[in-house]
Amino acid sequence: METNRPTYAMHDAHASIAEVVAHRAYLVRFAMRRLRDPMLAEDAVHDVFEAVLSGRASFAGRAALRSWLTAVLKNKIVDEMRRTPAHESLDDDDNEAPGSAALRVACPRPGPEEVAEQRELLGRTLDRIEALPRGLRDAMHLRVIEERPTVSVCRELGISEENLFVRVHRARKHLLS
């Protein structure tokens, strides 16, 4: 029985780059579901394309191209998980009990307690900046908090760049003491 599915042999008949890259969106979604980090997912897919196009991964045509690319991606994800101990499992088994090790995945965002702690620390720091002498406070506020360019801050305060750096340094020193 003949099928209309093309076969690919990366070394013999060479699948085109376009044929391989056409599966990118699917592969990124697949990687995102497992890695839960857009940058890591993009990196893993990039590693797949690099391996395929450099010939380190060879496709014999025994499966659909997408299935084979997904298998290569799974190996890249496993490699990433081994490098990053925050990830505990690759299992995607819905039969696991909630709270089991298979369902625990590192979350890149801070939890509610960390957010509250960070807000409290930020509030105390902003209060301490406001308590600085006027020259140090203005330099710190404009250059560090507002992240304005050095030239703009110097022009507004009527000071040299060297003086701005000294003021910011002294302000930070006060804040750390």
What does the alpha-carbon distance between residue 160 and residue 24 come to, in Å, rounded to a whole number? Answer: 51
Asked whether the predicted pLDDT for residue 134 surpasses 80, the reply is yes
pLDDT at position 111 is: 78
| Length of the chain (residues) | 177
pTM of this structure: 0.41
Q: What is the mean pLDDT of residues 154-171?
A: 93
Q: 17-34: buried (b, 16+ CB within 10 Å) or exposed (e) per residue?
A: eeebeebeeebbebbbeb
What does the alpha-carbon distance between residue 28 and residue 83 come to, in Å, rounded to a whole number? Answer: 19
* Percentage above 90 pLDDT, the chain: 28
